[in-house]
Structure 1
Amino acid sequence: MARITPLEWPVLRQLRSRDSTGRGAAVTSQKTRRTAPRTEDADTVVQSVCPYCAVGCGQKVYAKDDRVIHIEGDPDSPISRGRLCPKGAASEQLVNSSGRQTKVLYRAPRAREWEELDRDRALNMIADRFVESRRRHWEDEDEHGNPVNRTMGIASLGGATIDNEENYLIKKLFSAAGAVQIENQARI
Structure 2
Amino acid sequence: MGRFSFLEWPVVRQFTSGDHLGRGPAVASRRTREIAPRTADADSVTQSICPYCAVGCGQLVYVKDDKVIGIEGDPDSPISRGRLCPKGSASEQLVNSPGRQYKVLYRAPRAKDWEELDRDKAIEMIADRFIESRRNGWQDRDADGKPLRRTMSIASLGGATLDNEENYLIKKLFTAAGAIQIENQARI
TM-score grouping bracket, smaller chain normalisation:
0.7 to 0.9
The code of the aligned residue for 1:84 comes to: L
1:100 aligns with 2:95: no
Q: Structure 2: any 5+ residue segments left out of the alignment? A: none
Aligned match of 1:53:
53
Q: Contact conserved, 2:48 with 2:60, CA < 8 A, in 1?
A: yes
Distance 1:64 1:113 in 2: 37
Aligned match of 2:76:
76
* Shift, 1:21, TM fit: 4.8
Distance 1:66 1:122 in 2: 29
* Shift, 1:59, TM fit: 1.5
Aligned match of 2:2:
3
Q: How has the CA–CA distance of structure 1 residues 26 and 76 changed in structure 2, closer, same or farther, with 3 Å as cutoff?
A: closer
Three-state SS of the structure 2 residue aligned to 1:126 is helix
User: Across the two proteins, how many residue pairs are aligned to each other?
Assistant: 184
Q: Structure 1: any 5+ residue segments left out of the alignment? A: none
Aligned match of 1:135:
135
* Shift, 1:154, TM fit: 1.4
* Shift, 1:25, TM fit: 6.5
Three-state SS of the structure 1 residue aligned to 2:39 is helix
Distance 1:171 1:57 in 2: 23
1:115 aligns with 2:115: yes
The code of the aligned residue for 2:50 comes to: C
Distance 2:65 2:144 in 1: 63
Flag as ranges the 4+ runs of structure 1 deviating above 4 A. Answer: 8-12, 19-30
Q: Deviations over 1:100-125 (max 9, x none)?
A: 33332101122221101232322222
**TM-score, normalised by the number of residues in structure 2:** 0.77
Q: Contact conserved, 2:45 with 2:63, CA < 8 A, in 1?
A: yes
* Shift, 1:135, TM fit: 3.3
The code of the aligned residue for 1:124 comes to: E
The code of the aligned residue for 1:3 comes to: G
* Shift, 1:24, TM fit: 6.5
Identity of aligned residues (%): 73
Distance 1:174 1:71 in 2: 35
Three-state SS of the structure 1 residue aligned to 2:151 is strand
Aligned match of 2:144:
144
Three-state SS of the structure 2 residue aligned to 1:76 is coil
1:67 aligns with 2:67: yes
Q: Contact conserved, 2:137 with 2:153, CA < 8 A, in 1?
A: yes
Q: Contact conserved, 2:19 with 2:26, CA < 8 A, in 1?
A: no
Three-state SS of the structure 2 residue aligned to 1:116 is strand
Q: Deviations over 1:133-179 (max 9, x none)?
A: 22343333233222222222211011233344432332122112221
Q: Contact conserved, 2:141 with 2:148, CA < 8 A, in 1?
A: yes
The code of the aligned residue for 1:105 comes to: L
Distance 2:62 2:136 in 1: 47
Aligned match of 2:184:
184
